[in-house]
Structure formats: C-alpha cells, structure tokens
Structure 1
Amino acid sequence: MPEGNPDLSLIDIHFHAGPDIYRRKYTTREAAKRFADINGWAVIKSHLGSTAAQTWEARQEGLPVSGAVVLNELAGGLKPQTVEQSLFAHGEDTPARLMVYLPTLGITNHKSKLHRETFHSRINLDQQNSQPLFDPNGHPSNALKRTLSSMGGAPVVLATGHCNREDSHRVIEEALSAGIEKIVLTHATHPMSGFSVEDIADLAQEESVYIELTALTLQQRHQEIQHMADLLAANPRLILSSDFGQEDKPSPGEYRRLSRSWANDLEISEAGYQQMTLKNPRELLGL
C-alpha cells in the first residue's frame, strides 16, 4: 500500500478475523478484500495472539490491513518477546503501527451477550487465565513493567484490552512513564471497561490517549446511540471502530453504512464523522 494512503474512506482499528478463539465471518485475507472494496483499512485482531504475519502476507497482495497482538497467556503472555516477535513479523512495508493489546482472556467477570461458537473443540475458556497486572496495592507487576518498557519508542500502539476502569488508569500512567507514544482506551464505555462520559472528558488533555467507542457496544445496547455524540463532544480523540467480525454481524460495507446512518441521525457533521472514523485512527496508527 502507498505510504500515507491519502484516499482512504474509513479506518477500522478493531476487526476480528479467523483463526480466533471464536468462529469468525472471514479470514484475514477475506476481511482485507472487503475493506479494499470500500477503500478502507482495518486492524485485524485475534484473541489467539498475533495477526502480524497474516496481515503482512495480505499487504503483499496490496490489501489494506495491519496487525495486532493480544498478550494472552495462550499467545506467550505479557513478555517483551511476545511483542518483539509480532513486531518483527509485521514487517516494515507499512507505516501502520502494530497494535498491542493487554490481556483479554481471564481478566474480567463480564458475561458477553454474544452467542458464539469456539473455533476449536479443545478450547476451554474457563481454563484461560491471566496474571494480575497490578498487586492489591496498585503496584504494577514486573511482567507489565518489563513489557511496557520494551515498547517505549517502538512503532506500536498500546491498547488496554479488557482492563477495568481502575487498572486502565494505572496502565495509562505506566505506559506514559515508559515512553509509549500512542495509547488507546479499548471500548472505553463498555461495561467491562466502565468509563463514564465525564471520565472521558477528563482525559481530553492527555494527547497520547485515544478513546475507542465500538459499534458493537452500541448495537448490543450497552449504550444508546446518543452516546456517540456525547463522547465526541467530550473528547476530540474519539475513535469509532466496529469490533465486528462475528459470523452474524455486519460486513465492512454494512458497518460503514450503519455508522453513517447513526451519525446522520445524531446530526454529526461530515467533519465529525471523518474525525472519528478516519482522522483520529490515522493519527493513532501513523498511516
């Protein structure tokens, strides 16, 4: 893909493709083709670990995707080497930063409303645990400190994963201290993350921190559609992503139409829509 990609119409920083913990609608290559059809770009995510190699292969065919790694124990865990392997596999053919997610398995008690089938018969989600990021006194684990330190200055984005509100605040503080330049608060106002609109407004002065609102959060009615306008008014670095890729969820083209219809219903300007879906994600990823 040409550096800068000035003609993109939409960037989705959170799209699931198989193989993953659950069955997905598309493979990475299939998803990339759907985003190419709408002149979009997607970050492909899998709870099984890294999508760096799959997205590198797709880009060799001119397809518009970049990768992520989720630091679940299943994928190597919270270690500098887990990040490094994915960063190397991601290549240097794109300016897009690799997204690095803190753990998403065994870290929350939230029960999803989604009806999903596991990808492999031997996957037992009850056995997937993650080590605490912080001790009872709020001090970061050595694993977290080492991993964040290794990411300072690297072409990566740190995503808070399935951290709760308290731990997310602590992660942001530790990440900034480690010199990480771009941080995204993953589905910030979803119940498992627990941030309020007021919390998001308080983070508006922290220029390294971007706020993610997912279409899935709205579609599952965890928040009302009006919430999109409220967050956009509260923080200039709001990013609307899909968090789709489930077998029964919209395609990339359908997501674009759905997100535009929501923005129109809320009387969000074209500039506001572009801010959430293109300008801010472009800045976050470095595209």
Structure 2
Amino acid sequence: MENISLKGIVDLHVHSHPDIRERAYTDFELLEAGIKAGAKAIVIKTHHGTTMDRAYLANEYNKKVYNGSNDFVMYGGITLNYAVGGLNPVAVETALKLGAKIVWLPTIHAANQMEKFGKTGGINCVEAGKPVPVLTEIFSLIKEYDAVLATGHLSPEEIFIVVDHAKKMGLNKILINHPEFWVVGMSNEDQERLVKEYGVYLERCYAQPMGGGIYKSNLEDNYELIKKIGCENIIVNTDGGQVENPNWELAFAEYMQYLFDRGITKEELEIMTIKNPAKLLNIGK
C-alpha cells in the first residue's frame, strides 16, 4: 500500500496553545510539526481573539532557529466572538492590517451555538431574514484586504443569507466551516446547493466534537461528499489540536490516506489539500 505524503499541504484550521482549553501543541511546537511533515502552511485558530500576531512570532522563531532552511509559514486570523467585541469592524480592520488571512464569523458565541446548547443570547449575524447591517462594513474590509470570509458556527439558514450578501458584495473567498459539525448541521444536499449557486469552498474536517471530549470521525461522510460533488470546491482541513484526537500531522495523514485508499487520486488530493487552500491564502501552489 502506497503511503501519501504531507509535502506541500496547507491546513486552514488548527488550534494550538495559548488557549483556554488544553491543546496538544504550542504555536512553536505546531510550527515544528509542520516543518517536519513538509507542510507549506498552517492557519492557527482560536475562539478567543486573534492569531495573526501569534503567527508572526512563530515565523520569526522559524527564521532564527531554522535559518531559512524551510519554506513553511504560519498564518492567523480573527474570530468575531465576544473576546473582540463580536461583530466589531475596528477589530477586523486592525487584524487585517496586522496580516490576518481569515475572518471567522462567530463560533462559540454565535446565537446558533448558544441555542444548540440550550442557552439564550449570543451574537446574531441575521435578523428578520436579513444580514445585520454591520456585516456590510465587515465584508467591505474583507474584500479590501482580499481575505477569507469563514462562516463559523452559523446555522444553515444564516449561512445561505450571509453568503448571498457576501457574493453580491463581490466576495469570492468564502469558506463554509465544517458544515458537517452537528452545531452547524448542514445537510449534504444544502452543501451541494451552496457550491452550485455560490461557488463557495466547503471545509471538511477530520472529526467533529460531540461533547464530553468525544469526537466522531467524519472520514466516511467526507469521502461520500467528495465523490458526490467533486474536489474543486472542497478543502481538506483537520480542525485539529485537541488532546482527544491524534496530533495534527497524524490526523491529516490518516485523513489523506483514507481518501486515497478509497480511490481519490493524488491529483484530487492535491487540489483539496494544496491548490484550494493556497488559493485562498494567496500563496500559490
């Protein structure tokens, strides 16, 4: 059986320390794992603020320790939860000026997630069937800086409304975060419709949290969706970093090997793990 290489891969969604919950790697340890695996880039994510500043320091560490012996780069972004004031254009503009590549809409503080966990409140991106007005300002900034709009933990209904508004504003780099995650809960049929109508990218992750430290494998469902709609609008990510799951590089390797062993070609894997995510980050192949 042929083993699939991680050479050149790009992961747009990995969690690392510092964080409020335990993570498998620090930023520096994750960088070292990426270099060792031969990856091209990793985007570090937090639910509690920004990561482009952390990515900058990790890249400086890379220069000093490895003296230009690799081409690995760490990137970051901003997540619009309460830690940054929610839907805060000032925070978004500041992050983008500092190099943020992805703007994630609310995740743990999204009204949809709060409701799914039996709580009230949360941040609404849609009210009365329309995007809240401040999204227009935020989307303008994302477009100006050619960054990626990621849909966070919104509901399927909210995602369709937000994506429609973003596309009408001229945003083309739109990433639907782990639509298979039960909090998002988007059917494969709706994912297929989003791709056909709006040309978005679907982020399909290694596993999804079910609560209580339990994770459910997404590999079979990911494979079925890729076979159904093709690879051109799929991005293979891990959403890794949890101590309950394999370390980031092991999860990514298992994911790619699973797909390859079931007939997904090397060329298709390259599209989903290198070409598509690199296009969103403007870093080429």
What's the TM-score bracket when you normalise by the shorter of the two chains?
0.7 to 0.9
CA contact (8 A) 1:242 1:255 kept: yes
Please identify which structure carries the higher helix content: 2
Say if 2:164 and 2:198, in contact at 8 Å, map to a contact too.
Answer: no
Structure 1, residues 17-68: CA drift from partner, whole Å, max 9, x if none?
1222322112212211111111111100011110011101222234521001
Q: Which residue is 1:226 aligned to?
A: 220
Instruction: Tell me the SS of whatever aligns to 1:220.
Output: strand
Q: In structure 2, do the counterparts of structure 1 residues 50 and 186 end up closer, same or farther at CA, with 3 Å as the change threshold?
A: same
Match of residue 179 from structure 1: 170
Query: Higher relative contact order at CA 8 Å, sep ≥6: structure 1 or structure 2?
Result: 1
Q: CA deviation at 1:189?
A: 1.9
What's 2:124 paired with?
Answer: 132
- Confirm whether residue 47 of structure 1 aligns to residue 75 of structure 2: no
Answer yes or no: is the 8 Å Cα contact 1:99–1:157 preserved in 2.
yes
Q: Following TM superposition, by how much is the alpha carbon of 1:260 offset from its aligned partner in structure 2, in angstroms? A: 2.6
Report if aligned partners of 1:216, 1:242 keep a CA contact under 8 Å in 2: yes
Which secondary structure does the structure 1 equivalent of 2:241 belong to?
A: coil
Describe the superposition over 1:63-105 as per-residue Cα deviations: whole angstroms up to 9, x where unpaired. Answer: 5210011011112321211111111222xxxxxx611100112
Is contact 1:24-1:245 (8 Å) kept?
yes
CA offset digits 1:202-233 (Å, max 9, x no partner): 2333565110100023993364x332222223
Letter aligned with residue 276 of structure 1? M
Matched, 1:268 2:259: no
Residues paired across the two proteins, number: 258
Cα deviations across residues 181-209 of structure 1 (Å, max 9, x unaligned)? Answer: 30000001222222222222223335651
Distance in 2 between the 1:138 and 1:184 partners?
21
1:77 aligned to which of 77, 86, 97? 86
Q: Please provide the CA RMSD for this pair.
A: 2.3
Deviation at 1:243, TM superposition (A): 0.6
Task: Tell me what 2:59 maps to.
Answer: 59
Q: Contact 1:185 / 1:211 at 8 angstroms: preserved in 2?
A: yes
Runs of 4+ in structure 1 over 4 Å off = none
Gaps of 5+ in 2: 1-5, 64-71
Q: Which secondary structure does the structure 2 equivalent of 1:249 belong to?
A: coil
Aligned partner of residue 208 in structure 2, secondary structure: helix
- Structure 1 residue ranges without an equivalent (≥5): 1-6, 91-96, 112-125
| TM superposition shift of 1:160 | 0.2
CA distance in 2, matches of 1:14, 1:217: 13
Cα distance, 1:13 vs. partner?
A: 0.6
Corresponding residue of 1:279: 275
Contact 1:153 1:181 in 2 (8 A): no
Q: Distance in 2 between matches of 1:24 and 1:156?
A: 26
TM-score normalised to the size of structure 2? Answer: 0.82
Deviation at 1:269, TM superposition (A): 1.2
**Residues 232 and 238 of structure 1 are in contact (CA less than 8 Å); yes or no, is this contact kept in structure 2?**
yes
Alpha carbons 1:106, 1:130 under 8 Å: kept: yes
Q: 1:104-143 counterparts in 2 under 5 A?
A: 104-107=107-110, 108=113, 109-110=115-116, 130-135=122-127, 137-143=128-134
SS at match of 2:137: helix
Greater Cα shift, 50-59 or 206-215: 206-215
Asked whether the 8 Å contact 2:167–2:198 carries over to 1, the reply is no
In structure 2, the residue matched to 1:163 is: 154
The answer as to whether partners of 1:79 and 1:146 remain within 8 angstroms in 2 is no
1:210–1:238 Cα contact (<8 Å) kept: yes
